[in-house]
Chains A and B, each alone.
Chain A
């Protein structure tokens, strides 16, 4: 986990408020059940799960930090590094594959120098390749960029969507939530 990124006091307060409002288990069983949900909500809030937020969750639910680290590294959806200005889910489900999503992945590698779960060197774009499926298969191949779907992509329209997003300036951070 990126320990050098510090959360501001205001951000920490947001996490505490969220935990106090929605995460009040009756017993240890329920506390265990709530961990994944709490991590997801934190990720929605910041676009990733900062170390200090994970520690707050551990304290609040009475579980160990190690256990939380184990979850963050097991479940593919969690990010432990802050994402770039723009966040893209690239669907690589079977329908998108048949529609040519491999060419989009190749384009990311060749043109932007990034692969799965990586951020471009200029911090502009983070991509998460979704192995499962976004479930909008009739628009394959498809991406979800800054909360907007772009479907029936060719390599050209794919690059255009990325460049347009970059020109429009940084997206809201919670757009990286997934």
Chain B
């Protein structure tokens, strides 16, 4: 269905809203199964198949829908059931063998208490609490995740029914590019990829750049080893990311936007490509969109499993079909980016926030979070916690609240030892530091970093030295090898840590680590090298006694290092 003017869009939106509101009413049941890469791993496809067969066999009037990932990975595979006799209820851990229980409950018009996580709404029902009485849900402020787990990610109409593309309509017909940029500047949203550069200012520089054509690029590479927010977002709300890129194109004055997605995130790639195709079919992309005279095209490009391609200039080389190796700056990419033309590069999460900012105004967004870090942030946690998943919280929440309230604290029988922050680019924090607010600026003085919002909690089973070696080895492996300090410095650091693990080091090796790190940090060209030794330095700062124990007493608390297994002469550091 190709729309040719604004009125047709409004009509479509009206009918889409009615259709969406009718789900689970009129004697029909609506059964929504979370279908994303994380739920496939836990058998959601089988759950879906069993529902399809058993609902049909039971003769129940129903719509079986797929929705994205709601972020509650701990409850997957999950199902949301709503129907004539009770409000929407969230069921958790519904593997294929639990399906008969749920189908029987639907037949009886009742709720299966055994599997219910909560009522998907504000009020309790029949003794089953609302999900909002659970801190995991109550403490979230879902802007980007508003549609996640609610709409079918493959349906453009369900996105439109929930307010989707209304910001795009504003950008086409009501606002000038300058006004769009002003709203984003007012919102004070900072780059969600980790650097925290204000997006509005970047857009403005892009708009002012004189060379043409200009490009917009979205960084959905997400190669970091403990972050999965962007792919879950794209798997759940691909149109939201797409709309953000489209608005950025208009604001900057570009007719072509790119989304660069890590090639290993296959479902995210497929869903995003599908979304682009739908937007073209509906006439929301292309030439003279809805008669506005505006042209916008979107291309999807995929990477090949190189972490470095998340770096701005490397990403652009990769889009251009080259090896992803960073270059010196200036010129910055807003001056010379893709095809040596001005290119505005933003993170997926930043661009996904744009439709809400344009719909509700920059001032609304600036009112969320804390003054210097406005808005909400997607956070992922891993490690031995009670619950795991993606949450969206306002900036400024403390790490302690996140770990012990939102995520429910440590799993049974595990004791908190530390939390690795900033992916592989910063240090770990210990228990006494947990009251720090989570925002762009507060974690850095402690040796941590917000980065892209990925945190890993670890317990006593993890050895600080071995963990530091793991993080260093990651950066060594992912170095693109272009500049010497990073290419040679990181392997040298791994070797020194190995010496400590083997019980062959002396205390002066710790000084050597600091000296070598200084060279790598100060002399490397790009962001990877400049932070590569940070996790090691951070680990040494957080757990100095463990390093000393390895070196002086040949003892590893966690019992995982081969320290002391063989008696060897200490090797001099210099």
Chain A residues proximal to chain B, CB less than 8 Å: 29, 31-37, 39-40, 63, 67, 70-71, 74-78, 92-95, 97-99, 102, 130-140, 142, 149, 151, 178
Most-contacted residue by chain A among B223, B304, B339, B471 (CB, 10 A): B304
Complex Cα distance, B321 from A40, in Å, reads 12
Measured between C-beta atoms, what is the minimum distance from A35 to chain B in Å? 4
CA distance A135 to B264 in the complex (A): 10
Query: What is the CA–CA distance of A93 and B389 in the complex, to the nearest angstrom?
Result: 15
The residue on A at minimum CB distance from B324 is: A74
Judge if B374 is at the interface, Cβ distance under 8 Å: no
Q: Which of A31, A134, A138 is the one whose CB lies under 8 Å from B389? A: A138
Interchain CB contact under 8 A, A137 and B228 = yes
Is B38 on the interface with A (CB-CB < 8 A)?
A: yes
Are A74 and B470 CB-contacts (below 8 A) given A40-B263, A137-B380, A138-B389?
no
- With A95-B456, A136-B38, A138-B74 given, is the CB distance from A33 to B307 under 8 Å? no
Shortest beta-carbon distance, A177 to chain B, in Å? 9
The answer to whether the Cβ of B265 comes within 8 Å of any Cβ in the partner chain is yes
Given A36-B304, A71-B321, A77-B304, A98 contacting B383 (CB threshold 8 A)? yes
Quick check: B264 and A130 within 8 Å, CB to CB?
yes
B73 in contact with A97 (CB, 8 Å): no
Query: Are the C-beta atoms of A76 and B305 separated by less than 8 Å?
Result: yes
In the complex with contacts A33-B319, A36-B318, A130-B264, A149-B40 CB distance below 8 A? yes
> Which residue on B lies nearest to A89, using beta carbons?
B264
Say whether A133 contacts B225, CB under 8 Å. yes
A-B contact pairs, 15 of them (CB 8 A): A29-B339, A33-B320, A74-B304, A74-B306, A75-B304, A75-B324, A77-B305, A98-B456, A130-B264, A131-B478, A136-B37, A137-B226, A137-B382, A138-B74, A138-B382
A134 to B223, CA, bound (A): 10
In B315-330, the 8 Å CB interface with A consists of: 318-324
B165 to chain A, nearest CB (A): 26
Is B555's beta carbon under 8 Å from chain A? no
Taken together as a complex, chains A and B put the C-alpha atoms of A132 and B226 apart, in Å, by 8
Cβ contact within 8 Å between B304 and A95: no
Q: Are B264 and A77 in contact (CB under 8 A)?
A: yes
Give Cα A77 to B74, complex, Å. 29
Residues on the B chain within 8 Å of A97, using CB: 225, 467, 470
Alpha-carbon separation in the docked complex, A69 to B471 (Å): 29
Task: Tell me, yes or no, whether B554 is within 8 Å of chain A by CB.
Answer: no
Complex interface: stretch among B280-288, B295-303, B485-493: B295-303
CB distance from B527 to the nearest CB of A (A): 16
Total A-B residue pairs with C-beta atoms closer than 8 Å?
145
Chain A residues lying within 8 Å of B41, measured Cβ to Cβ, are 134, 136, 139, 142, 149, 151
Separation in Å of the A142 CB from the closest CB of chain B? Answer: 7
Q: Encode B416-437 as 1/0 by CB contact (under 8 A) with A.
A: 0000100110000000000000
A37 to B319, CA, bound (A): 10
A132/B383 in contact, CB under 8 A: no
Provide the bound-state CA to CA distance between A137 and B73, in Å: 9
Most buried by A among B265, B319, B383: B383
Please name all residues of chain B whose beta carbon is closer than 8 Å to the beta carbon of A149 when the two chains form the complex. Answer: 40-42
A94 B305 Cβ-Cβ under 8 A: no
Judge whether B523 is part of the interface by a CB distance below 8 angstroms: no
Query: Would you give the 0/1 interface string for B456-479, flagging 1 where the beta carbon is closer than 8 Å to chain A?
Result: 111000100011001100100110
Query: Which chain B residues border A31 with CB–CB below 8 Å?
Result: 321
Tell me which residues from 75 to 110 in chain B have a Cβ below 8 Å from any Cβ of chain A: 76
Query: Which B residues are within 8 Å of any A CB, using their own CB?
Result: 37-38, 40-42, 73-74, 76, 222-228, 231-232, 262-266, 299, 301-307, 318-324, 339, 380, 382-384, 388-389, 420, 423-424, 454, 456-458, 462, 466-467, 470-471, 474, 477-478, 560
Given A98-B456, A132-B225, A178-B264; A32-B305 close (CB under 8 Å): no
Contacts of A135 in B (CB 8 A): 37-38, 228, 231-232, 265
CB distance from A92 to the nearest CB of B (A): 7
From A78, A131, A139, contact of B304 by CB (8 A) = A78
C-alpha gap A99/B320 in the complex (Å) = 38
A140 CA to B27 CA in the complex, in Å? 42
Q: Which 4 A-B pairs have the closest CB atoms?
A: A75-B304, A95-B382, A77-B305, A135-B228
Judge whether A36 and B38 touch: CB under 8 Å: no
Cβ contact within 8 Å between A132 and B305: yes
| A134 proximity list for chain B (CB < 8 A) | 37, 41, 264
Residue of B nearest to A37 (CB): B302
- Decide: B306 and A75 in contact? CB cutoff 8 A: yes
CA A138 to CA B224, docked complex, whole Å: 16
Expressed in whole angstroms, the Cα–Cα distance for A174 and B223 within the complex equals 24
CB pair A94–B424 under 8 Å, yes or no, is: yes
A55 to B222, CA, bound (A): 30
Provide the residues of chain A in CB contact with B324, threshold 8 Å. Answer: 74-75
In the complex, what residues of B have CB within 8 A of residue A39's CB?
304
Please indicate the chain B residues that have their CB under 8 angstroms from the CB of A151 in the complex: 41-42
Question: Of B226, B318, B457, B471, which one neighbours A133 at CB under 8 angstroms?
Answer: B226
Shortest A72–chain B CB gap in Å is 9
Q: Tell which of B41, B265, B322, B424 has the most Cβ of chain A within 10 Å.
A: B41
Chain B residue numbers with a CB within 8 Å of A70 are: 322-323
B321 engages A76 (CB within 8 Å): no
In the complex the two chains form, is A76's CB within 8 Å of B470's CB? no
Q: Are B470 and A102 in contact (CB under 8 A)?
A: yes
Q: Are B225 and A35 in contact (CB under 8 A)?
A: no
Bound-complex Cα distance A74 to B40 (A):
30
* CB <8 Å contact, A40 and B304: yes
**CB of A119 to closest CB in B, whole Å:** 18
Check if B388 sits within 8 Å of A137, measured CB to CB.
yes
Q: Is the CB of A139 within 8 A of B42?
A: yes
CA distance A134 to B227 in the complex (A): 10
What is the CA–CA distance of A37 and B258 in the complex, to the nearest angstrom? 14
* Residues on B with beta carbons closer than 8 Å to the beta carbon of A75: 303-306, 324
Smallest CB-CB separation from B385: which chain A residue? Answer: A138
Within the assembled complex, what's the spacing in Å between the Cα atoms of A44 and B232?
22
Pick from A29, A37, A131: contact of B225, CB under 8 Å: A131
> A71 to chain B: which residues have CB within 8 Å?
304, 321-323
**How far apart sit A98 and B307, CA to CA, in the bound complex (Å)?**
20
A36 touching B226, Cβ below 8 Å:
no
Known: A29-B339, A130-B264. A138 touches B474 (CB 8 A): no
Residues on A with C-beta less than 8 A from B388 are 137-138
**Cross-chain contact B320 with A95 (CB below 8 angstroms):** no
Name the B residues within 8 Å of A77 (CB-CB): 263-264, 304-305
